[in-house]
């Protein structure tokens, strides 16, 4: 059966598997002290144009969100996020598990904006009772958002400006960062992200790796004894080489970007097909996730041949589904999708 | 440089890498719902002779200890362990991070015994003030222990008997379980472990896998909504196939056991060499870790050609070092070690 | 200066202080094992018409909310509350500190309703991804609400019915319960509360006590080793008599209810004054808190003679203030307020 | 029945109750912003000879230990304590509940010493694996100890010196501080304690108050937003006056010290009686707790007329009991005890 269900249905990019094979019997120290991890870190710092950044490799997205938020916040602080932010709704309470509240702002197309953020912060500090409330300690956004939409460079700059005014770190969840940066209408680079964010991560799990997220602390702001804190959270991999080799490969010869671009091109073709077949878009975006509205009748038929994500009920007779392309999507799969739709 | 530093210096068993390659472009659902994970679980249940057991795959040892202990204990309970238990001393407070105290018993050669355990429990419940203390809620042991020693079947049975009398689950940390079961003097099988433990795990990271531990709940005692709790702890892998394929391979044709046995045979040869060269053993054991006492002078020389683990100072002029063999140790390496020692 | 700032500006009811004096040199065991605590518990069970209920005395409201929610929820569960619920907004993250998310429902006049609750729960369980989300584990409401409004008996019954359908405990925060029950239009008794709630508490701090809240577990559902858990949360008072004597006094000769009624009568007079003086009410209610809209100009003048709570800005030129009466409000104070308004 | 069971069997010093009565109908702001709290803080700073200290009033001992330790430690740090320290053994896991490990040192007569502390710290930082362990972040001692023994000024100075060398705060639990300072052989004052400790508290619950502990941050080292953190821990009293009035009274005309001295004089008389009656002391000390070894036969008889604390079994036929005097012990009670013993 054809599947566009998610961007993590395949394994790893073949070059990664090849490298794992080649290096398999080399002996390396554990816990991220191997040469591949060190090399991957250097390459990421270079691409970010931040020689003094600090890079750490973790295994998965929820884990990364949990650890960044917990280790950067003071214990009495919460993280500000869109109501639709992944940390607000789809991480099984992993943030609250560490003792921190997610403070939600309303969103449009998955995005928060600088005006709302500033109002929230101004109101908080004007409230006589704010000592009895959770202090805002960080701002979390996803690029692209959970709806596949993009913040423009100007929007990021505005958010970043408010954050700095209030001394709050801006954290950009880049679980699908490559798919943002390679979108047709993206007006910024990873170096811009590195400049505007205080901390962000480069998602591997959804872009070519079998697991792995690369966290970048951009301003000499790594939490103290960060490796100990990773271990304390149960997230320190003994064979750190698994992550090191993957990111070292992804950031050799711009592999990360070229495979991200491939997913975008596939998505662009899918968007064209959807338009031609006159399915309405639920939300417009330019990245690798396509949200369309489909009649339940049609959906029942599709399901015989195609796996997609059920997103939410649109109305009594229609459903929002998500079609996701990825680095692993083949041209044949897109052609087959056209056939089915 | 020759390294016997630990049992996690290489990658994965070649058959695992081969299988990752072969299956790479198959599309599978995430979060452990892929066919390889399901197959691995079945194979593990078979080998344990426990058709009704429940198996879950996690990524690393500290993570596994943290999640098992936190999800099985009531919030006001602690876990009993040897003072030298890994959870008591070398996990960066990962257990306490989840709110639970590690209640320590004294140990001999890394082992606790049923008599001490029973005394502890009897005293606890006799204490008028026990409502003001941490309730013992679980017993944790490692097989083999942190010192490479083994509990005999009878010792396990005795501990298990006390546990059942006090309605405490017995948790066996099997990060190196294969190296226990394949030791010359081991008097029990994995099915015995499965029968005596309420929960245990089969370590992959140190035995053939690049990462992964297989948790077995043996008595219909899986914590409720366990997958949600794994996610809440930041430990749910999106591409669960990475773990599934590894354990499916390890438990095909007894690979797990044959590679474990190889490590033991290497260790036996090392023990013989050590004896011949008249280095005193710090502790006697029959598994893959060999602890020897060496003069600091000799150690300084060795270090030029050999990497081993510094364990602890023995006295002013001597040091305890650890030599670890593994599934990946070559005959050539053992020969080279003989040369150097 | 005249103050209607809150209902906790004075000390304790004189009969309480008298009793503290009389019993001061009696020797009693600690931690709630004194005769006054035992007597208070009996009286509360009687008034609730629940001979099998279990009553525990705690010190303050946030503490009580934190402990009830944390000890009754499973670790992967959150508590459902109105967005304006005290636990959602004004407790400095005390709930999240214990690892639990507050799941918010929209509200009208501070109240949630059974329809919204049922929709929320139905949607949750229909969502394919609900294993990746926080499980609803309890419903929290305040009676009266943070806006001084009341749930009717029928509304409580409806909420309770949905809760039972989904096996969720209904928790009623009664920090001001006396002021609800003694309101002119209250259509139920404390026995009704005890019947409909799975757990609730009778607020003392705001009604006659210098500190203290009495928690009632109504259905044999006290969390295991609850005293140990109170201690673990740092909330076990050594001299439990302080709480015992207070609640024993409050529930002797219906003192709790008569002093609550006094506050309501004062509030009714204030409401009449406000109406006569033609200040618009921000919200209509019948309990001890009166929310009115006042011009900033007028407010500036009032402040010279009167202390009230600033609630929120209404618009650019108006403010919402809160006037609170209590068991300690004197007739003279109400008369003086009339003068000033 | 005569009771010497503990030092918290009575209510509050009569002057405190008198003051509560006198001020009862004054209206004061909540949460510690009342004039009595402010006055108490000033008096405590004066007596400590630390005009820049920061004083906060909390309700109970476990709560105070929990909050001080949790708010002063980094999340990856633990607190060093004697194995017999109250936080290590008798607080129901309240410290671990906040995520922190208690790192234990061996003790003599309830005390740790500077040499052992320094060795522990030196070993920790020499261990190659210390990044995988819990960082020591604070040293906790009790003055007097749980066995009623005293640290001399010199011993405190030595501990303090090691702490400063390693940049660790020294925390002195003074739940019974008055009984230490007023002991015959105490060689230091509260000002010395204030100088040597980084944080300590002055126990009220066991010395004249019905509840309450006064925390003193001595070095401008109050945790940020401490009031918010108190609230987050569920420990912020709405009617802070309850604590303010008590400590204001206790530190007026040296009441705290004179009533502490009374307890010591009673204890000295008890010690004399014990000696005359030839009961062996389990431990020698000079404060208000007296530990004696008694035959089980004799104990059975005593129990008919006397309540004391069972401490632990001494051997098969003997038991260690504790006799505690307090500010409330009467001369008649001591005479009656003599009779009974």
What is the tens place of the pLDDT at every residue in D79-91?
A: 999 999 999 999 9
The C-alpha angle with vertex C178 and arms to D210 and C5, in degrees rounded to 5, equals 75
Cα dihedral B330/B332/B333/B334 (nearest 10): 90
Residues C183 and C318 occupy one common structural domain: no
- Please report residues of A whose CB lies closer than 8 A to that of C6: none
Cβ separation of B228 and C131 shorter than 8 Å?
Answer: yes
Q: Of all residues in chain C, what percent carry a pLDDT higher than 70?
A: 100
What is the spatial distance between Cα C56 and Cα C201, in angstroms, rounded to a whole number?
Answer: 9
What is the tens place of the pLDDT at every residue in A51-105?
A: 999 999 999 999 999 999 999 999 999 999 999 999 999 999 999 999 999 999 9
B128: pLDDT confidence band, cut at 50, 70 and 90? confident
What is the spatial distance between Cα D256 and Cα D189, in angstroms, rounded to a whole number?
Answer: 13
Mutation target to probe the B interface, by most B beta carbons within 10 A, among C30, C76, C127, C237 is C76
Cβ separation of C232 and D97 shorter than 8 Å?
Answer: yes
Residues D221 and D277 occupy one common structural domain: no
Q: Which chains touch B (3 or more CB pairs under 8 A)?
A: A, C, D
Which of C78, C93, C100 is closest, CB to CB, to A134?
Answer: C93
Q: Can you tell me the mean pLDDT for D212-238?
A: 98
Among D253, D281, D309, which residue terminates a domain? Answer: D253
Residue A317: CATH number of its domain: 3.90.1150.10
Q: How many residues does chain A have?
A: 341
State the smallest CA–CA distance between residue D224 and chain A in angstroms: 9
Q: B273: domain range?
A: 2-7+256-340
CB pairs under 8 A between B and D: 56
Structurally, chain C folds into a number of domains equal to 2
Q: Can you tell me the mean pLDDT for A140-149?
A: 98
Among A193, A218, A253, which residue terminates a domain? Answer: A253
pLDDT beyond 90 at C100: yes
Please give the pLDDT value at position B1.
86
What is the tens place of the pLDDT at every residue in C229-267?
A: 999 999 999 999 999 999 999 999 999 999 999 999 999
The C-alpha angle with vertex C179 and arms to C174 and C183, in degrees rounded to 5, equals 125
Among C208, C226, C254, which residue terminates a domain? Answer: C254
ipTM over 0.90: yes
Residues C166 and C291 occupy one common structural domain: no
What is the tens place of the pLDDT at every residue in D4-58?
A: 999 999 999 999 999 999 999 999 999 999 999 999 999 999 999 999 999 999 9
pLDDT beyond 90 at C142: yes
Please give the pLDDT value at position B228.
98
Q: Which residue of D has its CA nearest to A135?
A: D228
Residues B159 and B215 occupy one common structural domain: yes
Burial (CB count <10 Å: 0-12, 13-18, 19+), residue C103 = buried
Cβ separation of A135 and D228 shorter than 8 Å?
Answer: yes
Which of C76, C99, C232 is closest, CB to CB, to B76?
Answer: C232
What is the spatial distance between Cα B120 and Cα B104, in angstroms, rounded to a whole number?
Answer: 10
What is the spatial distance between Cα B51 and Cα B10, in angstroms, rounded to a whole number?
Answer: 33
Q: Of all residues in chain D, what percent carry a pLDDT higher than 70?
A: 100
Which of D89, D102, D129 is closest, CB to CB, to B133?
Answer: D89
Residues D227 and D239 occupy one common structural domain: yes
pLDDT beyond 90 at B337: yes
What is the model's pTM? 0.98
Secondary structure (3-state) at D295: strand
Please give the pLDDT value at position D128.
86
Q: Which residues of D18-35 are buried (b: 16+ CB within 10 A; e: fewer)?
A: ebbbebbeebbbbbbebe
pLDDT beyond 90 at A1: no
D235: pLDDT confidence band, cut at 50, 70 and 90? very high
Residues D28 and D140 occupy one common structural domain: yes
Which of C10, C20, C27 is closest, CB to CB, to D17?
Answer: C20
State the smallest CA–CA distance between residue A217 and chain D in angstroms: 19
Q: Can you tell me the mean pLDDT for C203-222?
A: 98
State the smallest CA–CA distance between residue C65 and chain B in angstroms: 17
Residues D170 and D284 occupy one common structural domain: no
Please give the pLDDT value at position A128.
86
State the smallest CA–CA distance between residue D94 and chain C in angstroms: 4
Instruction: Report whether B75 contacts C223 (CB < 8 A).
Output: no
Residues C22 and C51 occupy one common structural domain: yes
Q: Which chains touch A (3 or more CB pairs under 8 A)?
A: B, C, D
Q: Can you tell me the mean pLDDT for C290-311?
A: 94
Residues D161 and D304 occupy one common structural domain: no
State the smallest CA–CA distance between residue A56 and chain D in angstroms: 15
Q: Phi-psi region for residue D2, left (φ > 0), alpha (ψ -120 to 50) or beta?
A: beta
Q: Can you tell me the mean pLDDT for B324-331?
A: 98
- Please report residues of C whose CB lies closer than 8 A to that of D242: 11, 210-211
| Alpha-carbon separation of residue A146 from A66, A176, A309, D2, D183 (angstroms) | 17, 9, 13, 70, 66
- Please report residues of B whose CB lies closer than 8 A to that of D310: 128
What is the spatial distance between Cα A155 and Cα A185, in angstroms, rounded to a whole number?
Answer: 14
- Please report residues of C whose CB lies closer than 8 A to that of D228: 92
Cβ separation of C210 and D9 shorter than 8 Å?
Answer: no
Secondary structure (3-state) at B108: strand
What is the tens place of the pLDDT at every residue in A254-274?
A: 999 999 999 999 999 999 999
Cα dihedral A232/A238/A242/A244 (nearest 10): 70
Mutation target to probe the A interface, by most A beta carbons within 10 A, among C60, C63, C101 is C101
Q: Which residue of C has its CA nearest to A310?
A: C128
Cβ separation of A132 and C91 shorter than 8 Å?
Answer: yes
E-state strands within chain B: 2-3, 54-58, 77-82, 102-105, 135-142, 170-173, 199-203, 213-217, 289-295, 306-307, 309-313, 318-324
Residue D93: CATH number of its domain: 3.40.640.10
Instruction: Report whether C267 contacts D89 (CB < 8 A).
Output: no
Cβ separation of D133 and B100 shorter than 8 Å?
Answer: no
Residues C173 and C278 occupy one common structural domain: no
pLDDT beyond 90 at B239: yes
- Please report residues of C whose CB lies closer than 8 A to that of D91: 231-232
State the smallest CA–CA distance between residue C19 and chain D in angstroms: 11
A293: pLDDT confidence band, cut at 50, 70 and 90? very high
Q: Can you tell me the mean pLDDT for A125-139?
A: 95
Cβ separation of B234 and A60 shorter than 8 Å?
Answer: yes
Cβ separation of A238 and B211 shorter than 8 Å?
Answer: yes
Which of D89, D96, D310 is closest, CB to CB, to B96?
Answer: D96
B240: pLDDT confidence band, cut at 50, 70 and 90? very high
Residues A219 and A300 occupy one common structural domain: no
Mutation target to probe the B interface, by most B beta carbons within 10 A, among C99, C228, C231 is C228
What is the spatial distance between Cα C121 and Cα C166, in angstroms, rounded to a whole number?
Answer: 8
What is the tens place of the pLDDT at every residue in C38-75?
A: 999 999 999 999 999 999 999 999 999 999 999 999 99
What is the spatial distance between Cα C200 and Cα A339, in angstroms, rounded to a whole number?
Answer: 60
Q: Which residue of A has its CA nearest to D97?
A: A99
Residues D219 and D142 occupy one common structural domain: yes
SS3 track for chain C: CEECCCCCCCCCCHHHHHHHHHCCCCCCCCCCCCHHHHHHHHHHHHHCCCCCCEEEEECCHHHHHHHHHHHHCCCCEEEEEECCCHHHHCCCCHHHHCCCCEEEECCECCECCHHHHHHHHHHHHHCCCHHHCCEEEEEEEECCCCCCCCCCHHHHHHHHHHHHHCCCCEEEECCCHHHHHCCCCCCCCHHHHHHHCCEEEEECCCCCCCCCEEEEECCCCCCCCHHHHHHHCCCCCCCCHHHHHHHHHHCCCCHHHHHHHHHHHHHHHHHHHHHHCCCCEEECCCCCEEEEEEEHHHHHHHCCCEECEEEEEEECCEEEEEEECCCCCCHHHHHHHHHHC
pLDDT beyond 90 at C1: no
Cβ separation of B134 and D100 shorter than 8 Å?
Answer: no
Which of C92, C101, C310 is closest, CB to CB, to A93?
Answer: C101
């Amino acid at each position: 059966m054809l599947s566009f269900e998610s961007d993590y249905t395949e394994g790893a990019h073949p070059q990664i598997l090849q490298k794992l094979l080649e290096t398999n019997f080399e002996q390396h120290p554990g816990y991220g002290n191997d040469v591949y991890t060190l090399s991957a870190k250097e390459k990421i710092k270079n691409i970010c144009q931040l020689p003094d950044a600090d890079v750490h490799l973790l295994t998965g997205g929820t884990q990364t969100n949990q650890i960044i938020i917990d280790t950067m916040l003071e214990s009495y602080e919460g993280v500000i996020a869109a109501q639709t932010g992944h940390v607000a709704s789809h991480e099984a309470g992993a943030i609250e598990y560490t003792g921190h509240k997610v403070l939600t702002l309303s969103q449009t197309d998955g995005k928060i904006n600088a005006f709302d953020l500033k109002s929230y912060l101004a109101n908080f500090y004007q409230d006589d009772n704010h000592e009895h409330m959770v202090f805002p300690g960080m701002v979390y956004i996803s690029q692209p958002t959970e709806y596949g939409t993009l913040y423009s460079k100007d929007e990021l700059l505005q958010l970043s400006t408010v954050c700095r005014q209030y001394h709050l770190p801006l954290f950009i969840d880049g679980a699908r960062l490559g798919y943002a940066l390679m979108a047709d209408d993206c007006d910024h680079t990873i170096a811009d992200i590195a400049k505007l964010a205080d901390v962000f991560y480069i998602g591997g799990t959804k872009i070519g790796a079998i697991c792995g997220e690369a966290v970048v602390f951009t301003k000499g702001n790594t939490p103290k004894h960060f490796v100990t804190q990773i271990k304390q959270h149960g997230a320190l991999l003994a064979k750190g080489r698994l992550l090191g080799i993957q990111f070292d490969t992804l950031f050799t010869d711009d592999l990360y970007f070229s495979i991200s671009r491939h997913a975008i091109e596939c998505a662009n073709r899918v968007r064209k097909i959807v338009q031609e077949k006159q399915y309405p878009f639920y939300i417009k975006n330019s990245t690798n996730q396509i949200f369309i509205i489909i009649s339940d009748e049609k959906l029942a038929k599709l399901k015989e041949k195609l796996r997609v994500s059920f997103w939410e009920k649109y109305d009594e007779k229609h459903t929002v589904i998500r079609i996701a392309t990825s680095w692993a999507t083949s041209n044949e799969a897109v052609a087959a999708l056209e056939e089915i739709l």
